[in-house]
């Protein structure tokens, strides 16, 4: 078969598409380096999973709080000295996303503050964990 000039014309869009794809991937990698760290936290059976979170001071974090229970509402409460703290209600089967920067280094307790009358609170049933914040320069 004889080649016509159209063969080159067909290759050019493919080459351009490849260049665009490479630029997209390079930009995506560069963007990913500055991305906020995402930590999934399960809430169910009167427990947090994981129940220990370790962050660097000032690190931006996105918590994905998912209540895995079918009927029981839960809560994520975190109080840090000098900080406004968190108090997030998460209904059964629901996921809530919270963005925060880790407070100054130290250990902070987080817990579920839910309680039915005449029953133990969720925290008393073991629904608590610890947020460990290490200094920003610690590796």
Q: Give per-residue pLDDT as tens, 56-72.
A: 998 999 999 999 999 99
CB 123 within 8 A of CB 111: yes
Q: Where are the domains of the chain?
A: 1-35, 37-134
**Angle (CA) 80 83 85, round 5°:** 65
Q: How many residues does the chain have?
A: 139
The whole-chain average pLDDT of the chain stands at 80
Whether the pTM exceeds 0.85: the reply is no
Largest CA distance in the chain: 89
pLDDT(21) > 70: no
Instruction: Assign domain 37-134 one CATH number from 2.60.40.420, 3.40.50.2300, 3.20.20.70, 3.40.50.10540.
Output: 2.60.40.420
pLDDT(8) > 80: no
Q: Give per-residue pLDDT as tens, 82-115.
A: 667 899 999 999 999 999 888 789 999 999 999 9
Three-state secondary structure call for residue 12: helix
């Amino acid at each position: 078969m004889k080649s016509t000039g159209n063969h080159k014309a067909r290759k050019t869009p493919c080459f351009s598409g490849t260049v665009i794809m490479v630029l997209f991937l390079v930009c995506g990698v560069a963007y990913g380096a500055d991305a906020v760290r995402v930590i999934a936290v399960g809430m169910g059976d009167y427990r947090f999973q994981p129940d220990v979170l370790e962050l660097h001071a000032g690190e931006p974090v996105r918590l994905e709080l998912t209540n895995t229970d079918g009927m029981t509402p839960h809560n994520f409460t975190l109080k840090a000295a000098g900080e406004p703290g968190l108090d997030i209600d998460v209904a059964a089967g629901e996921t809530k996303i919270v963005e925060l920067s880790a407070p100054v280094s130290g250990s902070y307790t987080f817990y579920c503050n839910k309680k039915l009358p005449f029953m133990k609170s969720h925290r008393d049933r073991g629904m608590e964990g610890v947020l460990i914040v290490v200094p920003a320069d610690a590796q």
